[in-house]
Structure 1
Amino acid sequence: METKRWQLLVSGRVQGVYYRASTVQEASRLGVLGYARNLADGRVEVVAEGTDAQLSQLKVWCQQGPDAAIVKSVEITEQPATGEFSDFGIRH
């Protein structure tokens, strides 16, 4: 199956609510590689590589997030996969 890369920009109450750590757990469960990081504007950026099915499942999860999060929007940009990741982690 073809590997794809998505950048997801998640807006709402998504910082300070364990959004990144929860995303690591979900992405790892799905077998997705990449990272999550906080942005200065209050959003969380998720860069993920996987199959269409894996990325679609991660998108559905990102639209909800952990219990304390209030997700307002998720913007997705498809990018060429690079194969640079060996796991899913948090970047600072």
Structure 2
Amino acid sequence: MVRYFIEVFGRVQGVGFRYFVEYTAKTFGVTGWVKNCEGGSVQMEVQGMNDSVILFIDKVKKGNRFAKVEDITCMEVEPINREKTFRVIY
């Protein structure tokens, strides 16, 4: 089980990116959260089996058809026990 804090930069707000991330998380069976930040980036934490998390990150790097991901940072953090869902934070 691994968990990453991820920040995505580019045209990722106002284009359905958080909902794309939520859908992608459910597709790969990972948990965590995603939120918009004041500076225009999107932050998230994602947790799951290593292979699923890597596939999730690869898909997020590509974005949806309206987003333009310019850069992404990933930092491994401590897993959270008993987390069951992936959610959008407002």
Report the TM range for the smaller structure's normalisation. Answer: over 0.9
Identity %: 24
- Deviation, 1:67, is 0.4
1:1-92 to structure 2, matched below 5 A, reads 3-92=1-90
2 CA distance for matches of 1:4 and 1:46?
14
The CA RMSD over aligned residues, in Å, is 0.9
Report the Cα offset of residue 46 of structure 1: 1.4
Q: After TM superposition, give the deviation of residue 85 of structure 1 in Å.
A: 2.2
CA distance in structure 1 between the partners assigned to 2:27 and 2:59 by the alignment: 12
Which stretches in structure 2 are left out of the alignment for 5+ residues?
A: none
**TM superposition outliers: structure 1 runs of 4+ over 3 Å:** none
Distance 1:50 1:17, change over 3 A: same
Residues 51 and 11 of structure 1: is their aligned pair in 2 closer, same or farther, counting only changes over 3 Å? same
Conserved 8 A contact 1:62-1:74: no
- Structure 1 residue runs of 5 or longer lacking an equivalent are none
Aligned residues: 90
